[in-house]
Amino acid sequence: MPSDLASLAQLASRAAEAARAEILPRFRQVAVEIKQDGSPVTEADRAAEQAIRRVLHEGDPGAAILGEEFGAEGDTRGGAAWVIDPIDGTIGFSRGLPLFSTIIARLEGGVPVLGLIDLPGVGERMLGWKGGGVFRNGAPVRCSQQTELRRALVAHGDVFCFDLCGERPAFERMAREIPMLRGYTDAFGHAQVVAGGVDAMVDLHLNPWDAAATQILVPEAGGRCVTLDYPAVGKLGLVFGAPALVERLVGWLEQGRPTGLER
């Protein structure tokens, strides 16, 4: 059983490969269902999560697992745990857009220590761990160090998520004051921030499996990641990227409460 983060990173990569083997053959030829919470799901989501769980169980049988489609196995709040989202961006995936991702994160004592964002449709994988840096397809990457919002490329998640979190005024201010504001949603946008192509991002109304990998990848790539809690809706928000930009953008959000998990 692996005991160090470098070995666990290899295990996470094997799990991502197993997910790709289930996802890519179904891309652009799979039906969409609607879950009870109103979110979409496909056969590929379920098959990919099952494949990830098999690999993680075999390689790290003592760890708990929390996944979007099949819930929790074991105590995911204490000790060692894996948090997984087999397809982040199912809406885009179901419409034939190649910007979907697979997210895998390792937590210890509830804190992310390893993160992976796999982009099967574009053939890229971000992988990093505490003290080990971050790599895109094996090459090291770094977050932007931009300091001026008017010169920055800033991404945001879905606009309706700002509404759900009571943060529409913050989005409107972003639209007024940031010339290069782009909607690079889901973990695709997160990966672009990690690699420095996008300077910062504000993404709201997230679940733990949406956030965990980014919470470790961004600081390991030299950026800053602030997590906000929205208890009224039971969701998280992330502001991350170049440290100076994150400092300003966090101040524009009025409803979220800092969780104390900041890297």
pLDDT tens digits for 14-60? 999 999 999 999 999 988 888 877 788 899 999 999 999 999 999 99
Kindly state the average pLDDT of the residues 203-212.
96
Mean pLDDT of the chain: 94
Topology, domain 5-140? Fructose-1,6-Bisphosphatase; Chain A, domain 1 (3.30.540)
Q: What is the pLDDT of residue 262?
A: 64
Give a three-class secondary structure readout of the chain. Answer: CCCCHHHHHHHHHHHHHHHHHHHHHHCCCCCEEECCCCCEEEHHHHHHHHHHHHHHHHHCCCCEEEECCCEEECCCCCCEEEEEEEEECHHHHHCCCCCCEEEEEEEECCEEEEEEEEECCCCEEEEEECCCEEEECCEECCCCCCCCHHHCEEEECCHHHHHHCCCHHHHHHHHHHCCEEECCCHHHHHHHHHCCCCCEEEEEEECHHHHHHHHHHHHHCCCEEEEEEECCCCEEEEEEECHHHHHHHHCCCCCCEEEEEEC
Whether the per-residue pLDDT at 204 is higher than 70: the answer is: yes
Q: Residue length, the chain?
A: 263
- Position 130 scores a pLDDT of 97
**How large a percentage of the chain has pLDDT more than 70?**
97
pLDDT exceeds 80 at position 2: no
pLDDT digit string (tens) for 51-87? 999 999 999 999 999 999 998 898 877 789 999 999 9
Q: 153: closest CA among 218, 204, 202? A: 202
pLDDT band for position 260 (cuts 50, 70, 90): low
91-96 average pLDDT score:
93
Q: Region 155-159: what's the mean pLDDT?
A: 96
d(CA 184, CA 251): 21
Q: Which pLDDT value is given to residue 97? A: 95
Q: What is the pLDDT of residue 238?
A: 98
Task: Give the least confident one: 7-11, 72-76, 202-206.
Answer: 72-76
What CATH fold (topology level) applies to the domain 149-262?
A: D-Maltodextrin-Binding Protein; domain 2 (3.40.190)
97-125 pLDDT, tens digit per residue, is 999 999 999 999 999 999 999 999 999 99
CA pair distance 226, 182, nearest whole angstrom: 20
The pLDDT of residue 35: 81
Question: For position 37, what pLDDT does the model report?
Answer: 78
**160 band by pLDDT with thresholds 50, 70 and 90:** very high
* Domain spans in the chain, listed from the N-terminal domain onward: 5-140, 149-262
How far is residue 254 from each of residues 191, 228, 241, measured CA to CA in Å? Answer: 26, 10, 19
Please measure the distance between the N-terminal and C-terminal CA atoms of the chain and give it in whole angstroms. 28
Q: From CA 151, how far away is CA 147, in angstroms rounded?
A: 8
Please give the pLDDT value at position 78.
78
Average pLDDT of the residues in 120-142: 97
Are the C-beta atoms of residues 205 and 161 closer than 8 Å to each other? Answer: yes
Q: In 3D, which of 176, 177, 170, 172 has the Cα closest to residue 255? A: 170
pLDDT value of residue 66: 95
pTM for the complete prediction? 0.94
